[in-house]
Amino acid sequence: MKKDIINKLTLAAAALTLAGTAAPAAQPAVFAAKKSTKTSKKTTKKRKQKTNAQTYAPAVQGQSVYVGTAVTAQSVVTNAAALPAGSKFAFTKKVNYKKAGTYKTAVKVTYPDKSSEKTKTITVKVQKRPKLAKLYAPVAVGVTAPVGSKVTAKSVVVNADGMPYGTKYAFTKKVNCKKAGTYKTAVKITYLDKSTYTTNSIKIVVTKSASQKSKAKSSQKAAAKTTLASQYAPKAAGVTTTAGKKVSAKSLVANASQLPKGTKYAFTKAVDFTTAGTYQTAVKVTYADKSSERTKSVAVVVKAAKTVKKTDAEIYEPALKSAKAETYAGESIDAKSLVKNVADLPKGTKFSFANAVDFNKEGKTTAQIKATYPDKSWDLGGKVTITVSSLTKEMQIDSYQGKDASGHPIEAIYVTNNADISVALSAVFALKDKKGNSLSTSSDAANPVGPGETAILYAGFYDSKSAARMDYTLTAKPSKYNSKIVDLLDQDKSNSISLTDTGVNLSVANKGTSTLYAPSATAIFLKDDKLVGVGRTKLDDGSGILSTGTGSTATISFAKASDGYDNALITFSARDKK
């Protein structure tokens, strides 16, 4: 009977494709059986056109303004003119222009195609306005007036017309115009913002006169003899500059805007603007009437020019290999693997996703690559659409049901891995009643199963009068192991696999160059396409491994020899590490 059964069986040899090799290898020994096939199909979607947000990259720069002065979101986008017409700009966080402070915000750019993106964070600094007293430099000059005339504080300020509206003037010391004499005083200027400024000290001379006419003539003669130098008081202030950047003598005169038109300015001592150092000099001011005067000596500080080092983010920019990436649920993608110019970026650059990507959930996520450089500066690369697919859908499944020798329900699935990576398979089998309620469950697993390889998972149940059907749920996830069954199965089929009335005898050897871990074989026995038996055996040396050059023999028994079987399927498993 054994010989007759063997003669009726056909050994189906199929190509075994392992990840990382193109050469065909031995397919697990499979005995032909009629089976229904579920084939997963991959669909190719039409490439979508890039959105404006994927095409353009708005650049922003921080701003400093005074309280009460606002800036628009568009004004901080330095390349706004290069973005599509109709683009809209808005700050992501409100800036309070009524209150001094430093505000962190970004700009949301919405393009005409409704796509949008957010720029990097910038700083908008709102500063308090300086006091008016620091912006103006009033100049007072002495006058000579006859007894009885009226001399106001404002009248002795030669640039009063250049002062802001609402400015008030008062002598610091009282001047008695009813009594002849020389009065030393200054003018206190009070501005609308309550800030004050006191001018230089002046002399007001009140003279006696025989008559009003002689007083007027005397005043006219005095005015005619007054030079421009006697009417103005230029004020100089020190400045700081960098080597190679000259400053003019006029720029040292704080109130130059209030001096007469045609006034000329010159340093009294030369300043070397090419060499760092501190230079003491005054400014000689020459007026249009040829009169002149010299300011007090001030310091001109020339500092060495500094080299502003650019950050790595200003120098480098990560570039994507593609705008799309695909993976299976449970298999994460290293952000670095999506960057094509890694070798051109600084050593030590770290890559991450700017937004969270759930690699355990099927679907599509648009993510942006973030490059963090060794100098702690960072940059955002392009956007990539990551598609996470179901690895289980890549499995081809043939299912078989029946009863074992004791009459208990048994179910097995014969799984072919059509994915391009090794997988870990797990299945939950359930015995259910007519209403679909689960009466009992059992689980089985196979790990790893390489690309193109097959695995058998099965379960058995105690029979129940209320049992109506059996069902299963298969889950496939990326495996951390590599399949090594190619080292158990020779391409010339020299492995000893023999069928008997009571099962199958196996004799294998490790023909590879490394140790095999957890080697095993699984078989299912069929009669008239119904499952009549299942079994699994270890193929190790008793310690869970099979060393190079060593062999192993085992038997998978078929208990119901009296009824026999007419077909069998056998699969093998072995991995590269514990």
Average pLDDT over residues 92-100: 92
- Tell me how far apart the alpha carbons of residues 138 and 259 are, in angstroms, rounded to a whole number: 11
Tens-place pLDDT, residues 510-526: 888 999 999 999 999 99
How would you classify the pairing of strands 503-509 and 551-557? antiparallel
Asked whether residue 45 is domain-assigned, the answer is no
Asked whether residue 48 is domain-assigned, the answer is no
- Give yes or no for residue 1 having a pLDDT over 50: no
Q: Are 430 and 556 in a shared domain?
A: yes
Q: Give me the residues paired with residue 459 across strands.
A: 411
CA angle at residue 307 from 304 to 311, to 5 degrees? 155
- Kindly write down the DSSP assignment for every residue of 221-289, as one continuous string: HHHHH--HHHH----B--EEEETT----SGGGBTTGGGSPTT-EEEESS---TTS-EEEEE-EEEE-TT
Asked whether residue 374 is domain-assigned, the answer is yes
Which one-letter DSSP state was computed for residue 212?
H
- Out of 136-150, 301-315, 408-422, the most confident range is 408-422
Kindly indicate the confidence band of residue 493, based on its pLDDT and cuts at 50, 70 and 90.
very low
Predicted confidence at residue 9, as pLDDT, reads 34
Would you call 308 exposed, middle or buried from its count of C-beta atoms within 10 A (0-12, 13-18, 19+)? Answer: exposed
Asked whether residue 282 is domain-assigned, the answer is yes
Number of other CB atoms surrounding residue 286 within 10 Å: 16
Kindly indicate the confidence band of residue 381, based on its pLDDT and cuts at 50, 70 and 90.
confident
Which single residue is written with the structure tokens 């049992």? 467
Higher pLDDT, 465 or 486: 486
CA atoms within 13 Å, Cβ hemisphere of 96: 6
Q: Are 155 and 281 in a shared domain?
A: no
Q: In sequence order, which residues have a C-beta less than 8 Å from that of residue 390 and are 6 or more positions away?
A: 328, 329, 362
Higher pLDDT, 191 or 561: 191
**Residue 86 lies in domain:** 63-127
- Tell me how far apart the alpha carbons of residues 486 and 83 are, in angstroms, rounded to a whole number: 58
Kindly indicate the confidence band of residue 227, based on its pLDDT and cuts at 50, 70 and 90.
confident
Average pLDDT over residues 25-35: 36
Q: Are 462 and 515 in a shared domain?
A: yes
Amino acid, single-letter form, for residue 508: V
- Give yes or no for residue 6 having a pLDDT over 90: no
Amino acid, single-letter form, for residue 20: G
Predicted confidence at residue 215, as pLDDT, reads 55
Asked whether residue 52 is domain-assigned, the answer is no
Average pLDDT over residues 333-337: 93
Tens-place pLDDT, residues 201-220: 999 999 986 555 555 565 55
Q: Are 568 and 477 in a shared domain?
A: yes
CATH number at residue 117: 2.60.40
Q: Are 362 and 457 in a shared domain?
A: no
Kindly indicate the confidence band of residue 106, based on its pLDDT and cuts at 50, 70 and 90.
very high
Predicted confidence at residue 559, as pLDDT, reads 58
Predicted confidence at residue 465, as pLDDT, reads 78
Phi, psi of 255, rounded to the nearest 5 degrees: -110, 30
Which one-letter DSSP state was computed for residue 375?
T
Asked whether residue 21 is domain-assigned, the answer is yes
Of 439-453, 513-527, 557-571, least confident by mean pLDDT is: 557-571
Q: In sequence order, which residues have a C-beta less than 8 Å from that of residue 566 and are 6 or more positions away?
A: 5, 8, 526, 527, 528
Q: Are 523 and 451 in a shared domain?
A: yes
- Give yes or no for residue 35 having a pLDDT over 60: no
**Last residue of one domain, picked from the residues 98, 127, 156:** 127
**Last residue of one domain, picked from the residues 127, 147, 163:** 127
Average pLDDT over residues 159-179: 91
Q: Are 240 and 384 in a shared domain?
A: yes
Kindly indicate the confidence band of residue 42, based on its pLDDT and cuts at 50, 70 and 90.
very low
Q: Are 427 and 311 in a shared domain?
A: no
Predicted confidence at residue 496, as pLDDT, reads 74
Q: Are 168 and 252 in a shared domain?
A: no
Q: Are 359 and 473 in a shared domain?
A: no
**CA separation (Å) from 126 to 107, 195, 395, 540?**
17, 21, 62, 76
Q: In what order do the strands lie in the sheet with 423-432?
A: 438-449, 423-432, 469-478
Kindly indicate the confidence band of residue 68, based on its pLDDT and cuts at 50, 70 and 90.
confident
Of the candidates 263, 265, 328, 253, the one whose C-alpha atom is nearest the C-alpha of residue 298 is 253
Count: domains in the chain:
4
Predicted confidence at residue 218, as pLDDT, reads 58
- Give yes or no for residue 504 having a pLDDT over 90: no
Of 213-227, 261-275, 433-447, 564-578, least confident by mean pLDDT is: 213-227
Ramachandran area for residue 549 (φ above 0: left; ψ -120 to 50: alpha; else beta):
left
**CA separation (Å) from 7 to 1, 434, 534, 570?**
10, 42, 22, 17
- Give yes or no for residue 41 having a pLDDT over 80: no
Kindly indicate the confidence band of residue 463, based on its pLDDT and cuts at 50, 70 and 90.
confident
The continuous run of DSSP H or E covering 313 comes out as helix 312-315
Tens-place pLDDT, residues 281-322: 999 999 988 999 999 999 999 888 777 788 999 889 999 999
Predicted confidence at residue 554, as pLDDT, reads 82
Asked whether residue 445 is domain-assigned, the answer is yes
Predicted confidence at residue 79, as pLDDT, reads 92
Mean pLDDT over the full length of the chain: 85
Kindly indicate the confidence band of residue 495, based on its pLDDT and cuts at 50, 70 and 90.
low
- Tell me how far apart the alpha carbons of residues 460 and 444 are, in angstroms, rounded to a whole number: 11
CA atoms within 13 Å, Cβ hemisphere of 487: 26
- Give yes or no for residue 324 having a pLDDT over 70: yes
Token pair recorded at residue 324: 């799309």
- Kindly write down the DSSP assignment for every residue of 99-132, as one continuous string: S-EEEEE-EEEE-TTS-EEE---EEEEEEPPPPG
- Tell me how far apart the alpha carbons of residues 25 and 20 are, in angstroms, rounded to a whole number: 12
State what percent of residues in the chain have pLDDT above 70: 87
Asked whether residue 47 is domain-assigned, the answer is no
Q: Are 99 and 111 in a shared domain?
A: yes
How would you classify the pairing of strands 187-190 and 168-171? antiparallel
**Last residue of one domain, picked from the residues 226, 244, 272:** 226
Q: In sequence order, which residues have a C-beta less than 8 Å from that of residue 57 and are 6 or more positions away?
A: none
Q: Are 346 and 260 in a shared domain?
A: yes
Kindly indicate the confidence band of residue 17, based on its pLDDT and cuts at 50, 70 and 90.
very low
- Give yes or no for residue 428 having a pLDDT over 50: yes
Token pair recorded at residue 199: 């001018």
Predicted confidence at residue 32, as pLDDT, reads 34
CATH number at residue 159: 2.60.40.10
